[in-house]
């Protein structure tokens, strides 16, 4: 492990807005903060918004800046990436954003039923071969139900045609109420100050001609969920540069 990464891990241990729990310490029990994030971490009862797979925390920090009346928690297992957002939030004195380092599969160990108002899923791995690992699969939807308020909001922002098509089909099959659905966010007229927050990689994809897809839907509390049985063309960026996925003309420009 590089010295820079070791330095970040050491600093993460000292940052007051970072919460880290080893798997061995939490896999068979609930976290002490479960049900108490508002009182013990933020000191208020404002709505809690969770960003899953937060990476460098651009969304968690960006949303916290814009909406001081909500509390934001970025969740990821990659501590070296999370350090960027945690350090920035601490430096700026943002008291309404925190970071949780853990596996998403354990999310119900950290949040009580109804404790979370919204979930953001920003540019996750589409997991084209493994449905159970897909963060918008029904397996994860059932997990989110355990922590979301009834009819809580789920946001998906992705560059992946595969994941967007799959999630759109899953939402339609299960009659989940949709608020926003677009396959080309920045040419839809829907982008606002929330959706305009762009991660480092998102800006790179946009510069290469990729379109960004966005889905916002309510997760109803009781109805059974079914997996869509459809064939979906896989994303070509798993084999080629992401810039060529939706812009084959770029290939001709290179010739």
* Digit-coded pLDDT (tens) for 17-31: 999 976 666 767 889
Report if pTM > 0.85. Answer: yes
Mean pLDDT, the chain, whole residue set: 87
Please check the confidence at residue 38 and state whether its pLDDT lies above 50: yes
- Residues paired with 20 in a beta bridge: 101
125 is catalytic: yes
Please check the confidence at residue 39 and state whether its pLDDT lies above 80: yes
Would you say 79 and 10 are in contact if contact means Cβ atoms under 8 Å apart? no
In this prediction, residue 251 has a pLDDT band, given cuts at 50, 70 and 90, of very low
In this prediction, residue 198 has a pLDDT band, given cuts at 50, 70 and 90, of confident
Question: Pick the catalytic residue: 28, 45, 108, 125?
Answer: 125
Look at residue 33 in the predicted model and tell me its pLDDT: 94
Q: Does 194 or 116 have the greater pLDDT score?
A: 116
Please check the confidence at residue 170 and state whether its pLDDT lies above 90: yes
Look at residue 78 in the predicted model and tell me its pLDDT: 85
Please check the confidence at residue 1 and state whether its pLDDT lies above 70: no
d(CA 228, CA 52): 23
Look at residue 250 in the predicted model and tell me its pLDDT: 37
Look at residue 3 in the predicted model and tell me its pLDDT: 64
Average pLDDT for residues 174-185, to the nearest whole number? 95
Please check the confidence at residue 239 and state whether its pLDDT lies above 60: no
Average pLDDT for residues 89-110, to the nearest whole number? 95
Please check the confidence at residue 245 and state whether its pLDDT lies above 80: no
Please check the confidence at residue 248 and state whether its pLDDT lies above 80: no
In this prediction, residue 203 has a pLDDT band, given cuts at 50, 70 and 90, of confident
Average pLDDT for residues 190-216, to the nearest whole number? 80
Look at residue 202 in the predicted model and tell me its pLDDT: 82
- Residues paired with 216 in a beta bridge: 155, 180
d(CA 98, CA 37): 10
Q: Does 208 or 174 have the greater pLDDT score?
A: 174
Average pLDDT for residues 68-79, to the nearest whole number? 94
Look at residue 223 in the predicted model and tell me its pLDDT: 86
Look at residue 253 in the predicted model and tell me its pLDDT: 39
Q: State both tokens at 66.
A: 């814009």
The H helix count followed by the E strand count for the chain is: 8, 8
In this structure, what DSSP letter does residue 29 have? Answer: S
Helix ranges, the chain (H): 3-12, 23-26, 58-66, 79-92, 138-145, 161-173, 200-207, 249-254
C-alpha angle 219-222-226 in degrees, rounded to nearest 5: 70
Look at residue 10 in the predicted model and tell me its pLDDT: 83
In this prediction, residue 11 has a pLDDT band, given cuts at 50, 70 and 90, of confident
């Amino acid at each position: 492990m590089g010295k820079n990464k070791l330095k970040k891990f050491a600093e993460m241990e000292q940052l007051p807005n970072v919460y880290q729990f080893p798997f061995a310490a939490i896999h068979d029990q609930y976290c002490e903060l479960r049900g108490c994030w508002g009182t013990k971490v933020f000191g208020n009862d404002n709505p809690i918004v969770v960003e899953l797979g937060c990476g460098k925390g651009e969304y968690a920090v960006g949303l916290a800046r814009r909406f001081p009346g909500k509390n934001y928690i970025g969740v990821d297992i990659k501590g070296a990436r999370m350090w960027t957002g945690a350090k920035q939030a601490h430096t700026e004195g943002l008291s309404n954003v925190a970071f949780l380092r853990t596996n998403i599969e354990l999310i119900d160990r950290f949040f009580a039923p109804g404790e979370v108002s919204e979930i953001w899923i920003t540019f996750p791995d589409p997991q084209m071969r493994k449905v159970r690992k897909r963060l918008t699969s029904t397996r994860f939807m059932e997990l989110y139900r355990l922590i979301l308020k009834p009819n809580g909001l789920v946001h998906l922002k992705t560059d992946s045609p595969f994941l967007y098509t799959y999630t759109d089909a899953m939402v339609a099959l299960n009659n989940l109420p949709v608020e926003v659905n677009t396959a080309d966010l920045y040419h839809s007229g829907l982008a606002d100050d929330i959706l305009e927050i762009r991660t480092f990689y998102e800006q790179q994809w946009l510069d290469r001609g990729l379109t960004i897809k966005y889905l916002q839907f309510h997760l109803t509390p009781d109805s059974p969920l079914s997996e869509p049985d459809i064939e979906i063309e896989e994303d070509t960026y798993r084999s080629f540069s992401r810039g060529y996925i939706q812009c084959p003309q770029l290939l001709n420009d290179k010739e």
